[in-house]
Amino acid sequence: MTDRPPVCDYEGSQYQSTFWDQGERAYEDQTEARALRALLPPNGKLMLEIGAGAGRNTPRYTGFERVVLLDYSRTQLQQAQERLGRSDRYLYVAADVYRLPFAPGLFDAATMIRVIHHLAEAPTALRQIREVLQTGGTFILEFANKQHLKAIARWVLGHQTWSPFDPQPVEFVKLNFDFHPRTILDWLAGAQFQPQQVRALSYFRVGLLKRLAPTGVLVALDSLLQPTGQWFQFSPSVIVRARADGEGVAALPGQFFRCPECRSVDLKDNGDHLRCAGCDRRWAIRDGIYDFKEPL
């Protein structure tokens, strides 16, 4: 499996508690919530949440009958189970975004929030997402913006070597990328997505400001500024709502999972594993988590 793109693995991480719960990031969390509320379809049948982690955003997808939480880390999905519980509404899947284990045209919507900045081959992942979405489906993508105001100021003052206006991604830490908005929009178009709305988030992501000003005030001001992303993007975070265009294959009744190795959609549930009729590989089901990271 050495030809796979590298994956940023949060296995064993307490990311939810250290970064979000204890990390003074209520402002960022609430600005994302406002953006999702504005961009999400009012209802739908099946949502794919890519990089769901511990399920921070999952309760916000209230209009969908079922939500599939996908993450590469099994321990993150276990934390999501603890937060959300086990029910028919939530399905937990451990898998690689570059090899999504779902039938083509299965989902009517997908989100990928705070994930693409870990992807060394983002266009490949975007094509995979388009393949599992129905034509006309909604995709909501958040990305880290290299063209934000602080980066521009640092570059002008000579405090950083890379230009925020260069369309190439910048890898500031291993498997941590900032992207130019135009590059992301071009990649979306190349994967047969038509951007519909662009919103700019977290204009006030400054530690001192977050400590001095009430969170509610900053979130309200940020919400007023978010629509400016339709014309210019100078915020640290940008979120795009796109429509899945082009010709796509619709999933047939009864189709759901697809083998990541041979791409057969003929998988039989044997209780503790799924067996692929195409290549005879077995994929574990452990404590309510469908594990497609490696076959048994």
Q: pTM for the complete prediction?
A: 0.95
Domain range for 84 is: 15-254
User: Confidence band (pLDDT; 50, 70, 90) for 24?
Assistant: confident
User: Confidence band (pLDDT; 50, 70, 90) for 2?
Assistant: low
User: Rg of the Cα trace of the chain?
Assistant: 19
Same domain flag for 275 and 142: no
**Do residues 137 and 194 lie in contact, with contact meaning Cβ atoms separated by under 8 Å?**
no
The residue-averaged pLDDT of 60-74 equals 97
Position 68 scores a pLDDT of: 98
**Do residues 169 and 183 lie in contact, with contact meaning Cβ atoms separated by under 8 Å?**
yes
Position 1 scores a pLDDT of: 47
Question: How many separate domains does the chain show?
Answer: 2
Same domain flag for 111 and 99: yes
- Whether 195 has a pLDDT exceeding 50, the answer reads yes
Q: How far apart are CA 289 and CA 75, in angstroms?
A: 10
Residue type, 71: D
**Is 295 within the bounds of a domain?**
no
Pair of tokens at residue 182: 């135009």
Residue 59 makes CB contacts below 8 A (sequence gap 6+) with: 84
- Whether 53 has a pLDDT exceeding 50, the answer reads yes
**Residue 213 to residues 20, 27, 36, 209, 216, Cα–Cα distance (Å):** 19, 10, 23, 6, 9
Same domain flag for 57 and 76: yes
